Amino acid sequence: MTDKIETHNSPARWWPIIVFLVLLVAAVPWYWPDSDHSIIFGVPAWVALAVLVSLFASIFTAWLLFRPWPGESSESTTCPGPERE
């Protein structure tokens, strides 16, 4: 019995990777000028932005993980556990 391996290389499947790359570029402060000394909530602005982008990346990752995976039904399934009487 041979199983057909499906490859999904459509551009629509690449959007999470693109979002993570944009978040990476936004979070790393290599584009901030050295002369910028602005303070937000008691920390340098680049630190506040990096923390904010990190928070957004965490929320985005959790959202992706809670969505059904491709090929999975959207019905919720329960994990098998001990039978209760």
What pTM does this model have?
0.64
pLDDT 10s digits, 5-64: 445 566 667 888 899 999 999 888 888 888 888 999 999 988 899 999 999 999 999 999
Alpha-carbon distance of 23 to 55, in angstroms, equals 10
Residues 6+ apart with CB under 8 A from 56: 23
Give the Cα-Cα-Cα angle 26, 31, 44 (nearest 5 degrees): 80
Tokens coding 29: 């402060």
